[in-house]
Amino acid sequence: MAAGRDQKLLLININNMNKAGIVDAVHGVLGGTKVQAEQAVETAINSIIDSLKKGEEVSIAGLGIFSVKQRAARDARNPRTGEAIKVPAMKVPKFRAAKALKDAVK
């Protein structure tokens, strides 16, 4: 990578990363237009979401595994009123970080 490109990525990573930050990072690496970079990011995110909707796992080497977990129905309490409420069973997204990601964050 060229020194200028490294500096650009460093500036992007100073703030909290969000979708726009990822688009900027992709644009910085691939070039092209920002619209194309945004389409690439959108395609990746939508692919993950579509796979999870089908109940499939999505494994990204070095990042982790996205999956869907079935959460059982349960009783809970409304913290404001103390009233008992029933929380229905539901599917929730789950993420398991890869060892490489855990090591990078240490």
Query: Taking 50 as the threshold, does the pLDDT of residue 97 lie above it?
Result: yes
Closest residue by Cα to residue 67 from 40, 91, 43, 102: 91
Bridge partners of 72, per DSSP, are none
pTM: 0.75
Q: Provide the residue ranges of all domains of the chain, joining segments of one domain with +.
A: 1-55, 57-106
Higher-confidence residue: 37 or 15? 37
Amino acid (one-letter) located at 72: A
Position 16 scores a pLDDT of 77
Mind listing the pLDDT tens digit for each residue in 53-93? 999 999 999 999 999 999 999 999 999 999 999 999 999 99
Instruction: Tell me the pLDDT tens digit for each residue of 22-52.
Output: 999 999 999 899 999 999 999 999 999 999 9
CATH superfamily of 57-106: IHF-like DNA-binding proteins (4.10.520.10)
d(CA 5, CA 53): 36
Q: What is the DSSP letter of 1?
A: -
The pLDDT of residue 3: 45
